[in-house]
Structure 1
């Protein structure tokens, strides 16, 4: 039987549905997708994709911090965009939070994101 723990922290937005902020199992951290909600207000930080991306990365950091990890522990990231034309801006901001070797990553355009967000990022960390 695996050792599975639910992660709950006020350093990231509360779950807005039937899911956990993150689950830790066998030393790996599986984070739910983070959208640009400000944890204290549960409102979108702004309509600007760049500000949203910074907020998403802060939310990811909150979960990492709550589990004694940091960005260097991320091994896989998935980026969801409501408009692939924003990829360059999002990619530049995302990269500014990380160091080489960068995590494995995918990025896709989706029809719609929760709460009208422009970007969502989920990560897996060691």
Structure 2
């Protein structure tokens, strides 16, 4: 995300032993958006992983995912791409179809368990 000081929300919050991340969309540092749901899913998780690393965490610490898909026809391909990013025990997950405010196919929000 660009300069986070201009956004009216926190990008990361810690509370009650959990780390909450705001929704992440697949926009590369150069402003480009990859083609296709699999590439967008992979980039979104790469960006989430980078944010988690700044908190001393990784995708292995994720306990919950909320996923918004622009097109339910992308579900199977998204699901296959999603599965590559997690090992058992898998996070709980909700996936919904939603109208996006950006020209992307996916937005993902995660909650991670903070390490003690």
| 1:4-23 paired onto structure 2 within 5 Å | 13-14=1-2, 15=4, 17-23=7-13
SS of residue matched to 2:102: helix
Structure 1 position 125 matched with structure 2 position 112? yes
Structure 1 position 116 matched with structure 2 position 103? yes
Q: Which has the higher contact order (CA 8 A, sep 6+)?
A: 2
SS of residue matched to 1:20: coil
Task: Tell me how many residue pairs correspond in the alignment.
Answer: 111
Deviation by residue 1:47-99 (Cα, 9 ceiling, x = unmatched): 32221111101011011111111111111101100001101111111110100
Structure 2 unmatched runs, 5+: none
Structure 1 unmatched runs, 5+: 1-12
| Partner in structure 2 of residue 24 of structure 1 | 14
- State the TM-score, normalizing by the size of structure 2: 0.87
| Partner in structure 2 of residue 86 of structure 1 | 74
Which runs of at least 4 in structure 1 moved beyond 6 Å after TM superposition? none
